[in-house]
């Protein structure tokens, strides 16, 4: 029987990547338990240097501090997939008001001569601040490496080959989102929050621990629970695509970012949304079929487009 956990488990990625057989088995079991019980785990010892995380947050703050007209020079366009999306555009599925946030999307880049260079939209890059492109491409790659290790660690618990998710997510349409939640305006809609209750679209989300509190998950008992950790750690949650292919053996967990309860100041965060490649089929893993009817297979890109429309980005 699964233990009754009273806090989101904190796991060391090094115990899986560098550990012996016993350490790896323990990580595999604890990861699955955390995802099934909370849909979230906290990851330490992940190999991403604190200096990189600090520089990324500093550059994010510098970018969002610029006047709106300068940020809009890199407007993301109707699908919001690359570049800048202004305050008040995105909303949670079925929400009546927009979230109180603005954000920037960084996607995968291919070499100019690569035959894959045209499969995803091109990134947009601001002229300032300096080292913006370099820093966020570096962070993108580092977070993806951590994500691949975690997906490999999920495979044994789901009865698939170790490279099952590696094949699915290689050259995936993954997104690094730089988020800014400004101070809540005095005239904000009373129903508006920084991020209304939602589930993520993708396989897993790897969130660089935010600069500011507010993240909460909805636990299996229907209670809202704060998710906080040290600034050098990562917060990881399971998304709708993973829930779909596991037939909810790993459910997607509802979460939100609430408005500040203390000082009304900005909050910054950086989630990495790990996606399959666009032609991957989201179909039930055979070992997860069970007694619950599985949802129909769907191409990853078609599922993504459906969900982007539901949240106002298509």
Say how far apart CA 214 and CA 178 lie, in whole Å: 16
Say how far apart CA 125 and CA 67 lie, in whole Å: 16
Say how far apart CA 260 and CA 58 lie, in whole Å: 21
CATH of the domain at 284: 2.60.120.330
Q: Given a cut of 60, is residue 2 above it in pLDDT?
A: no
Q: How far apart are the first and last CA of the chain?
A: 43
Indicate the number of domains in the chain: 1
Domain presence at residue 1? no
Q: Given a cut of 50, is residue 275 above it in pLDDT?
A: yes
- Structure-block tokens of residue 277: 């490649």
Domain presence at residue 4? no
Domain presence at residue 84? yes
Q: By C-alpha distance, which of 206, 185, 193 is closest to 90?
A: 193
Q: How confident is the model at residue 1 (pLDDT cuts 50, 70, 90)?
A: very low
Q: By C-alpha distance, which of 203, 305, 286 is closest to 247?
A: 286
pLDDT at site 209 = 77
What domain range is 279 assigned to? 10-212+221-310
Q: Is residue 107 classed as helix, strand or coil in its secondary structure?
A: coil
Q: How confident is the model at residue 4 (pLDDT cuts 50, 70, 90)?
A: low
Model confidence pTM above 0.75: yes
Q: Is residue 55 classed as helix, strand or coil in its secondary structure?
A: helix
pLDDT tens for 71-126 read: 999 998 766 789 999 987 777 777 788 889 999 999 999 887 788 778 888 899 99
Eight-state DSSP code of residue 99: -
pLDDT tens for 183-206 read: 998 888 888 889 889 999 999 999
pLDDT at site 103 = 94
Domain presence at residue 5? no
Q: By C-alpha distance, which of 82, 64, 116 is closest to 308?
A: 82
């Amino acid at each position: 029987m699964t233990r009754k956990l009273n806090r989101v488990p904190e796991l060391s990625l090094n115990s899986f990547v560098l550990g012996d057989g016993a350490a790896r088995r323990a990580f595999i079991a604890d990861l699955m338990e955390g995802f099934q019980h909370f849909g979230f785990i906290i990851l330490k010892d992940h190999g991403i240097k604190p200096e990189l995380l600090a520089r990324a947050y500093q550059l994010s703050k510098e970018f969002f501090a610029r006047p709106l007209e300068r940020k809009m020079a890199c407007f993301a366009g109707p699908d919001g997939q690359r570049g800048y999306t202004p305050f008040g555009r995105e909303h949670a599925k079925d929400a009546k008001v927009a979230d109180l946030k603005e954000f920037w999307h960084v996607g995968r880049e291919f070499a100019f001569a690569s035959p894959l260079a045209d499969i995803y939209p091109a990134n947009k890059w601001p002229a300032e601040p300096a080292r913006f492109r370099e820093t966020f491409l570096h962070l993108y790659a580092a977070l993806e490496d951590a994500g691949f290790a975690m997906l490999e660690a999920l495979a044994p618990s789901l009865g698939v080959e170790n490279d099952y998710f590696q094949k699915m997510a290689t050259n995936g349409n993954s997104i690094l989102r730089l988020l800014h939640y400004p101070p809540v305006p005095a005239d904000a809609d009373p129903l508006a929050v920084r991020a209304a209750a939602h589930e993520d679209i993708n396989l897993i989300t790897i969130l660089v621990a935010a600069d500011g509190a507010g993240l909460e998950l909805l636990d299996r008992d229907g209670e809202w629970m704060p998710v906080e950790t040290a600034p050098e750690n990562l917060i990881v949650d399971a998304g709708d695509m993973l829930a779909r292919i596991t037939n909810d053996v790993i459910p997607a967990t509802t979460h939100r970012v609430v408005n500040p309860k203390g000082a009304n100041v900005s909050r910054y965060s950086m989630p990495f949304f790990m996606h399959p490649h666009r032609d991957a089929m989201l179909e039930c893993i055979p070992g997860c079929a069970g007694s619950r009817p599985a949802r129909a297979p769907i191409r990853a890109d078609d599922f993504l487009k459906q969900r982007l429309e539901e949240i106002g980005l298509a």
